[in-house]
Amino acid sequence: MPTRLFVVVGCAAIAVMASLTERTARAQGRPIMLAVTRATADDMRAWDGQVDQMIRSRELRVRETQTDGFLPDRQHQRLEQYYHGVRIAGGDLTRQLANDGAVSIFGTMHAAIDLSVTPRLSTEGARSAINSAVGGQAFGADPELVVLPLSDGYHLAYFGKAATNLEIVNVFIDADSGGLLRQYSDFLSEVGAGTGTYGDNKKVSTTAVAGSFIADDKLRPTEITTFDAKGNFARAQALITGQTPSIADIASSASNRWNDGVVVDAHVYAGLYYDYLFKRFGRHGLDNRDLRIDLLTHPVRLADIATAPPNVLGLYYINAFYSPGAGPNGQGLMVFGEGAPRGFLAPNLEVKPFSAAFDVVAHELTHGVTGNSARLNGFPLSEAGALNEGFSDIFGVSTAFFYQPVGSAPLQASYVLGKDLTVPSGALSRSISNPASTGDPDHYTRRIIAGDPHYNSTILSHAFYLAIEGGTNRTSGLAVQGVGPGNREQIEKVFFRALTALLPSNATFALTRAATIQAARDLYGVGGAVERAITQAWDAVGVQPRTAPTAAIVPVPITPAQCPVVSQPSWGLYLTMSAGASDLVVNQWQLDSFDAAGAKVNTDSFPPVGAFASSFNLCGPGSSRVLAQTDACGAPCIGLGAGRTSGSVQVTFTATDDANRTVTFSSPRVTLSR
């Protein structure tokens, strides 16, 4: 008989949830996903009137109104929802307006909340609790009282930032108990000549200061400054957390002939990314208002890599990141990891400094665009977190295609993000043309909400690829008639418009499907080749309107030590249960195991509340109640018994919906093999 033990296969570093006893302020309510367009005229009129009424009552407040960059007769509103004067975190909508009225509304409306908004903790008490929760120091503005929707309900919380000795952390704490509810990292002139990391010659926009030249680009409408911490980690941390910089902190060259390839690549590629945004989309920088771009190189010394703690190694050597709330000027900062010498990670493998890859630089700076528009970075343990990474991949490779010749060699554009990071090429890459080749999903049924958001990102980016190039999805077998690489610009504009104008911060894959289809109609007409390509692409990757509940199951490699009481061989499983348009109360779930011939060898059935709440608490706080449009995730390990080395597994849920109906749904059956 197979035995199972529930283990966390890896996500505790991404977010920490409160225990049930800490959540004293949980309340009932339900989210309603809105993807309303003129295709359904009656719904459009009704919801447009509802939005107007809520603006008058101050339940919705206009955060920003912008003129459409592609269609001058259109405007876009970003609205935030409030409950008794308290902002709902992630409770935002977008509304597209034309001269003759509303065109689309996207977002999540939160209804029927019943929650006291009087906190027991003071603002100062909240600041102390935030500091204690993550072992850091308060950073930025005072904590903000918010209503925080989690998968089990609504919580009165304080939101603030804290700087640890490693990074800046966004923190939500219970407004009564001070218990930690959620945390996530914030790190999502004159012309000289220089040599890049790959020995290529580049023009470097610089400024002359006191007989030397600094990497400060004043030729573009936005100022681009590249700082150099010179391997001084303490100084790098000071600059990241906003210490006022000096001229000595800016990368410099005495002769204006730049030989530090890390600085050259970072500075030049950032300038080219700014140019790409303007030339392709007419956008003025990261925020469309020429927000300055600050870059930080050499945060650590390559010579110190052997003694670097794992968290420093993973963040400041083998990584690059953009932090919207960080930097010497407090306007955002991109930090480039130092890489690793040949043989450190694997025999004969060299990891280049992260500024060496043009698409990676563009990827990280796109996080700055997202942070100044859709703000998807606020929800890493959700589909929004994956979408954030997916859009960065999309515009990372798109920027490279805009400037570089197409090919697989270094300094050539391809659909493999980060291929230039390593020698030999591709060891740290992510393919959006064939995600499975780099261990990533090409279909929605292979999603893992509880893990690294980069993993699910290829569901979005593969749809983007198919809409351009066409082809057949390897999981679904569905074919897509793309617009062709000669029309790449059409698909780029559709996805960029969806990101910067139509998507709210709480977006799901389903909502992104609706927004990109609407953007295609807005720009290129209803029923045309662009709308067809994008619709077929979403069909191919398995993303449909999120009305019914779904489940996914993904096997992950584990060692026998991670699953000691299970008969070997064993597998780890990531299970994701996603609610649709209705709240669900889970009554039972079961795991069915099959041998290699497809015969069932075991069924494990688990009763309600206790088993589900304790087992499915990786991407939510753990409860038998799962709000509409949210997810619950678990990570068991499993053995097939009798020494079986192959077989398959399927998970099935039975729940009660809002109308007190019984709903049963299952994941696809997934193959296991050793």
Quick one: 395 and 536 in the same domain?
Answer: yes
Task: Say which CATH number the domain at 246 has.
Answer: 3.10.170.10
Domain co-membership, 561 together with 449: no
Residue 94 lies in a domain: yes
Per-residue pLDDT, 241: 92
pLDDT confidence band for 301 (50 / 70 / 90): very high
User: Which of 99-103, 382-386, 460-464, 606-610 comes out lowest in average pLDDT?
Assistant: 606-610
Q: Is residue 528 part of a domain?
A: yes
**Residue 150 lies inside a defined structural domain of this protein:** no
Q: Which residue has the higher pLDDT, 126 or 453?
A: 126
Residues 393 and 539 occupy one common structural domain: yes
User: Residue 344's pLDDT is what?
Assistant: 96
- From 519, 545, 571, give the residue that closes a domain: 545
Final residue before a domain boundary, out of 111, 128, 151: 111
The pLDDT of residue 379? 63
**pLDDT of 19 above 60:** no
Residue 411 CB neighbour total at 10 angstroms? 18
Using the predicted structure, report yes or no on whether residue 206 has a pLDDT greater than 90. Answer: no
pLDDT at res. 127: 96
**Residue 606 lies in domain:** 4-12+548-673
Between CA 382 and CA 631 the distance in angstroms is: 8
328 and 215 both lie in a single domain = yes
Residues 6+ apart with CB under 8 A from 85: 58, 117
306 & 344 share domain? yes
Residue-wise pLDDT for 100-157, tens only, equals 999 999 999 999 999 999 999 999 999 999 999 999 998 888 999 999 999 999 999 9
CATH number of residue 449's parent domain: 1.10.390.10
**Among candidates 42, 33, 24, 35, which has minimal Cα distance to 111?**
33
Confirm whether 466 is domain-assigned. Answer: yes
Q: Tell me what pLDDT residue 26 has.
A: 43
Q: Is residue 579 part of a domain?
A: yes
Could you count the other beta carbons within 10 Å of the beta carbon of residue 120? 14
Q: How far apart are CA 81 and CA 60, in angstroms?
A: 4
Residue (of 206, 220, 316, 319) closest to 267 by Cα position: 206
Q: Which of 494, 520, 545 is the last residue of a domain?
A: 545
DSSP conformational letter for 42: H
- Please give the residue that has the higher pLDDT: either 61 or 208: 61
Q: Where are the beta strands (DSSP E) in 358-427?
A: 416-417, 422-423
Q: Is residue 468 part of a domain?
A: yes
Round to whole Å and give the CA distance between 386 and 382: 7
* Model pLDDT, residue 451: 76
Secondary structure letter of residue 413 according to DSSP: B
My answer on whether 463 and 572 are in the same domain is no
Long-range contacts of 304-310 (CB under 8 A, 24+ apart): 304/231, 305/338, 305/340, 305/341, 305/344, 306/344
Q: Looking at the structure, do residues 445 and 318 belong to the same domain, yes or no?
A: no
In this structure, what DSSP letter does residue 306 have?
A: G
- When pLDDT is cut at 50, 70 and 90, the band that residue 450 belongs to is confident
The CATH number assigned to the domain holding 610 equals: 2.60.40.1470
Q: Is the peptide bond before 353 cis (omega within 30 degrees of 0)?
A: no
Given a contact cutoff of 8 angstroms between Cβ atoms, the answer to whether 404 and 477 are in contact is no
pLDDT value, residue 92? 93
Which CATH number does the domain housing residue 47 bear? 3.10.450
Instruction: Provide the 3-class DSSP secondary structure of residue 326.
Output: coil
Rg (CA), the chain: 25
Q: Which two tokens stand for residue 128?
A: 């102390």
Looking at the structure, do residues 217 and 346 belong to the same domain, yes or no?
yes
Q: What percent of the chain has pLDDT over 70?
A: 94
Q: What is the mean pLDDT of residues 573-595?
A: 94
- 520 lies in the same domain as 470: yes
Same domain for 211 and 275, yes or no, is: yes
Does residue 497 belong to any structural domain of this protein? yes
Q: What is the pLDDT of residue 21?
A: 28
159 inside domain = no
Mean pLDDT on 71-84: 96
Identify whether residues 244 and 305 lie together within a single domain: yes
pLDDT tens-digit series, residues 492-522: 999 999 999 999 999 999 999 999 999 999 9
Shared domain for 462 and 581, answered yes or no, is no
Q: Tell which wins on pLDDT, 379 or 469.
A: 469
Q: Which residues contact 72 (CB under 8 A, 6 or more apart)?
A: none
Q: What's the number of domains the chain is made of?
A: 4
